Every structure is written in structure tokens, then in C-alpha cells.
A and B are shown apart, each in its own frame.
Chain A
């Protein structure tokens, strides 16, 4: 059985709310970070973020089970590069490196396994349609490439590791995103962002065992609120994000994987600190508050992300 989890990290990098995303299906990041931050023309933005995804909530359909004998951790180090050719067009590339671990704690038996490898690289292009009077709108298209490991083996037994312990999906996936950002007219420091995101997944042969494996397509709605505060002569950006994610079931050859798909809703407070004019540091903490899942799944309990962003 392949229990699945999927989560997306969102980091706030600046007053214009940007977020990074990675999706884990069975622990393997599927999507690179998409940073909506659009740097000034000719500027290069570099971000390094560290994401810890704690996965130990058991769900059977809509019921959270009182069981946590399997504990998974997905730790990901992201390197993200953004470059703006002009005020309207920019590109983003995201490179993840993933550490996966699983611990199974049964009476008289503790089983621990871990692995690490390069994840799937994502390249994303953005076009800014509108940017004036505190209102901006844009859209983007991207592709996730199957650079991650899909046939990693256990160092000791040499068996191919389960999908939950592979860092890649083995598929080429296509991404589309639309976003609107507005400042409140009565409090200009407050920014509201609404984004929609869709991922169309391609076929994978990642498990060798099947002619075709296709992860369920994914839709997300992300609503974010951010304010700007001056504390101790330093700009601070507290934020709150509401993220709703839905996926269809995975397809294996010509049938559905019954333990995949569902609806997740998360809330995520965050804080960004402007350390220097060109340097920001952020932290985010995300917890789920609603889950309507298909079949039996192990899913995210909580998630934390820290990041540093430098504009060159």
C-alpha cells in the first residue's frame, strides 16, 4: 500500500506576497517553489529555504485515526533563483534537495529508514498583466521536470524503496497560476493576495512495475493577508495564509489508486523580517484544519519553513 501525503509550503518574502510551494506525494516533492515575487527589471533574486514537513496524521476517509506509529519527515532545502527581464516578464527556477525518513514504532520493533536525493526541478515563467495603484495581477506557466530520484534503493537490502521514500515523481508536470494582489485603500500597508494554481500531471514510469502512473491533478486556492509594521527600527511583515488544496485520485495503468486524493485546508501564520534593504528572513508555520480524504492516507501534521532572500 502507498499512503500519500501532500503539502505545500508558503513563505512570505516581501510586502508583495510571494510564496514557495512544494507538493509531496508520498514524501516526494512534486512541484518546485513558485515565487511570485517579481524583482525589479534586471535584478536577480536568490532564496534559500529549509522546509520541515512532519507527516504522522492517519486518516481513513474523513476520520482522523488515533494512531501514529508511522512517523515520516520530509526535509527539503530549496534554492530558488528569480530573474526579471523587465517589469512584466520574469522567470523562476527552483532546485530542491530532499531528505526523507520514516520511522515505524511497534512494540518490540522500531524500524527506521532514511534517504536523500535531488528533487524535481521546476522552471516557471511569469507575466505581469497589471501593476498600478496598489493593484497587481499576473499569471504564470511552468513545467516540472523529472530530475528527482524515482528508483532509489535501500542501501542495505538493495530493494527499490517505496514511493514514499523517492525524491522525484518521474513525470513531466505542467503548472498554471493566476494571481491578484491589492493594498487596502484605508491601510496601505496591508496587502491581500488571492492566487489560483493548477497542476496537470503527466505519466510516470517511476515504479517500473506499471506502464503508467499518473498523480492526481491538483487545484489550489491561496488567500493571503500581510501587514507592514515598524518594530525597533526594523520592518516586519506578519502574515496569515489560508490555503485550500484538492487533488483527484492517482491513476495506475487504468484504475484509480484508492488511497489518494481529497481536500485539504491549511492555515499558516508567518513573519518576515527586513534585515537589510536587500535581505529578508522569513518563518512560517502551517497546520491543517480541515481534511476530507479518500481511502487511507498518512498526511501532514504540521509544517515549518524558514528562508532567506537576497536581491542582487
Chain B
């Protein structure tokens, strides 16, 4: 079920005039051919989908302008099933329901009888399509038939994944984790000043007490693992530049606090973290230790990573922003993306995949709802 709400429309007249003027002054119009179609940003998509997968009922919100998607369960702890509908309020308010509540993108009721309550996030992560297609034996694309793979992965006694498909991109810690991250506090006035993060840059946004911690992908491209303390809990934020996936795990486990580094190993091109206390290896997308003393262990607690562009982050109002500083002890120019055209070249992959599914271009950024080791994928175009 889809709900359409007000969308930002492009200004075709203005674009046509600009194109005509450009062609006129450039003198590059080819005789006999139709004039070039107006170019410009694609129409913004802001919409929600109600869906059910593996017996969970949830609503998925998508906003293509801020390149964000997020899914929340519609069933509350008291058993109430919410009829979440698109809100007419401005972002970050995204839902309203039959009880008169409004809910923001963090799943918090901002007004109404349930003000202050929170929706339960549906286990999901955003990333490149190929990564979910290669990881999960059953991947359903919204609106399409379920696709079950015939060949299943073989794991050995020491690994939960097929070791033959684990590749070494670098040695352990050659990609240095951020273990003592420094944040730059920003208030409203600071946001208009030039920062190293640009409006179109994707970020990971984590509420931390009265602030929002903002971790740009452009920094995580170089570090992939960030050990931090958020809301009094020790967490690790993982980001894999090759699969475009982000995770947030509680790293307190059995009264021990683990510290995660980058193992340099990749499975289906996805980050394998390791913990420095037990030297166990952890698959980021599987969110589980796949090798070592803690094999089979899940992180202490898994939080859904909310991601959106910096332009979207600036519209969030949680009291203040803590932007991950670019001065974190590593001499890097974070404005330089280290992987060339990787983000946009659908043919380019670093290592072989266990399974490749060409129904969607490899690098299209999608949301995958992951329940019972099955995945259902949502594209922005599903929300048109």
C-alpha cells in the first residue's frame, strides 16, 4: 500500500529556457535532431509503503532528496496496530496515525497522545543492491516474486561463511579504525559556515543524549570502524565503502568491552571486523562473529543506522550537532574519495560474489529489511 504526499516538482520551463540559451550561445545544436530534453535533478520522491514480511508489519519511509529510507514496526508493544500515513508536516516529521500522533524520522512521537514514545525500528540497512543479493539466500524485491537461490553457501568448522569466498584486501589494521573519535559541536549558526561536509554527503546520524552525532561516510571511507560511547553505551559503528552499509553494535559483551578494528578481510566485498580482545572476526552484514573464539555470537545489541545527506541532517532538531571532526589523529584529506568511480560504476567490483543478481543495477542504493536471515529490498522508485 502506498501513500502519496506532496512532492517537489522540477521547474521544467526554467530548465527548458536554460537549455535553449545554453545551446544557443554554445552553438552546439545539431541540425535535424530534436533539442536535448531538459536536464536537472530527478523529481523528489517522498512517500511511505506499508508492508509485511516474515510476519512483521512495518512502514517504510523514503525521501530521495535526502537519500534516506527507514522502516518502523507498525505494531506497538501494547498490541496497537498503527495506521501510519505520510505526514503533512515538514521533515523530519514523517508519519501521522489514526490516534493523532505525529512521528519523526527517529521514530519518536513528537505530538499527540503518545508523545515521547518510540516506534520499534525494523531490522534493516541501506547499501548497494549487490551486497544484499549476494549475502542472503532469499531476497525479495518489493512488488516482485520471491527469488530463492539454489546453491547455498558452504561453511567449514572454523567459519560460519564459506572461507573460499573470503578475500584479503589488506592486512589487519591497514585501514585504521577511529578509537578515540573527536566531534565538533555545532549549533544553528555554525551550520551556515563552510564545513568539510557538503549538503550532498551521506552521513550516519545517531541520537546521543541531547545531541545528534553525525558521522560522514567520507570519513568512514578511510576508517570503516569507529569505537565510541553513545548514550552511555560502548558501541562500534561499522561502515563498508564497498557495500555502502552501516551498522551500529553495542560492543559490551559478557561484561567485556570489545574494541573493533578492520581485519582487512572481505566476504562478498563486505567488511569483516575483528575484535582486539578475542581476535574473533565479525561479518558486518551478517552482524555476527563468523570466525574465532566468539564464532556464532551476536553483538550485544544491534541498532539500526539512520543515514541521510548532510542537507537532511541540518533539518533535524535535537538540540545540537556533534559532527565527527576531520582532525581525528590521522592526516587525511577526507574530501578525496579513495575508490574512484566505484560508487557509480555498476560493473566494478573488487572481489567475487557468491551470488550475483542483475535485477537491479549493482550499485543502486536500496533499503534491505532483514528478518530471519531473509531480505526484502526497497528501491526509491517503488515509492513513486
Contacts and interface: CB of A to CB of B under 8 A. Distances in A.
Interface of A: 1-2, 58, 60-61, 63, 65-67, 69-70, 102, 104, 106-109, 111, 113, 154, 157, 159-162, 209, 252-259, 295-296
A111 B350 CA distance: 23
Contact of A295 (B169, B332, B340, B347): B340
A61 B333 contact: yes
A154 B163 CA distance: 14
Contacts of B171: 102, 104, 111, 113, 162
Contact of B173 (A66, A106, A160, A254): A106
| Pairs A-B, 3 closest by C-beta atoms | A258-B340, A66-B331, A65-B331
A209 B350 contact: yes
Given A67-B331, A108-B259, A253-B347, A209 B340 contact: no
Contact of A106 (B169, B170, B261, B339): B261
Interface of B is mostly: loop
B302 interface: no
A42 B332 CA distance: 56
A159 B347 contact: no
Interface stretch (B72-80, B84-92, B174-182): B174-182
B168 A159 contact: yes
B339 A258 contact: yes
A65 B330 CA distance: 9
Nearest to B352: A209
B147 interface: no
B345 interface: yes
Given A159-B168, A254-B347, 19 more contacts: A1-B169, A2-B169, A58-B331, A65-B332, A67-B330, A70-B174, A102-B174, A104-B171, A104-B174, A106-B176, A108-B259, A109-B173, A109-B261, A111-B173, A209-B350, A255-B348, A256-B341, A295-B340, A296-B338
Interface of A is mostly: loop
Nearest to B274: A109
A153 B345 CA distance: 30
Contacts of B175: 1
B114 interface: no
Given A70-B174, A111-B172, A161-B168, A1 B338 contact: yes
A255 B167 contact: no
A162 B175 CA distance: 13
A104 B172 contact: yes
**Quick one: which of B174, B265, B276, B332 has the most chain A CB within 10 A?**
B174
A220 to B, nearest CB: 25
Given A60-B332, A69-B176, A255-B345, A108 B167 contact: no
A207 to B, nearest CB: 9
Contact of B338 (A63, A70, A104, A295): A295
B351 interface: yes
Interface residues of B, number: 33
Interface in B235-274: 259, 261, 264-265
A154 B169 CA distance: 13
A66 B329 CA distance: 10
A63 B332 CA distance: 9
Contacts of B371: none
6 contacts: A1-B175, A60-B333, A111-B173, A160-B168, A209-B167, A254-B347
Contacts of B172: 104, 109, 111
B169 A162 contact: yes
B166 interface: yes
B272 to A, nearest CB: 11
A244 B259 CA distance: 44
B336 interface: yes
Nearest to A109: B173
A65 B336 CA distance: 13
A58 B345 CA distance: 27
B347 to A, nearest CB: 7
Nearest to B259: A108
A151 to B, nearest CB: 12
A70 B332 CA distance: 14
A255 B363 CA distance: 15
A8 to B, nearest CB: 25
A60 B338 CA distance: 9
A120 B276 CA distance: 38
**Quick one: which of B168, B330, B347 has the most chain A CB within 10 A?**
B168
Interface in B140-177: 166-177
A159 B265 contact: yes
B324 to A, nearest CB: 18
A253 B342 CA distance: 13
**Quick one: which of B170, B171, B351 has the most chain A CB within 10 A?**
B171
Nearest to A256: B340
Nearest to A60: B333
A157 B167 CA distance: 11
A67 B179 CA distance: 16
Contacts of B177: 106
A162 B170 contact: yes
Interface string B84-110: 000000000000000000000000000
Interface in B163-213: 166-177, 179
A296 B338 CA distance: 7
B170 A1 contact: yes
B338 A259 contact: yes
Nearest to A107: B179
A258 B340 CA distance: 5
A61 B331 CA distance: 13
B167 A160 contact: yes
A282 B265 CA distance: 42
